[in-house]
Amino acid sequence: MKLSLEDITAYNYEAVCDLEVAKTQEEYVACNMWSLVEAHYNSGYTCRAIYLNSTPVGFFMWVQETPTKVSIWRFMVDQTYTNSNK
């Protein structure tokens, strides 16, 4: 089992946008599509797809707030890969 952070490209962005959290978590997690748009228009925002082997299973975004401060702004794992939907 290989877990990795991969660039989001023209080849995988749709799969990343299709990832969903459980209904009970929706109010706490921003939509991946919105996060990608936000990152496109704001410098210092970095997005990655979380991959399990060759399958996108989640989304991660961090922001370089200052030269010495990086903050995690988004983190989600698809409901298929969590216990939250049981």
Residue 36 lies in a domain: yes
Dihedral class, residue 17 (left if φ above 0, else alpha if ψ from -120 to 50, else beta): alpha
Measured from the Cβ of residue 71, the count of other Cβ atoms closer than 10 Å reads 10
Total domains present in the chain = 1
What are the pLDDT digits (tens) for 18-66? 999 999 999 999 999 999 999 999 999 999 999 999 999 999 999 999 9
pLDDT of residue 39: 96
Measured distance CA(68)–CA(75) in Å, rounded: 21
Contact 62, 70 (CB under 8 A): yes
Residue 50 lies in a domain: yes
Helix boundaries (H) for 11-72: 13-17, 32-40
pTM equals 0.90
Domain limits at 66? 3-80
* Pairing assessment for the beta strands 55-66 and 45-52 based on DSSP bridges: antiparallel
pLDDT of residue 85: 45
Residue 85 lies in a domain: no
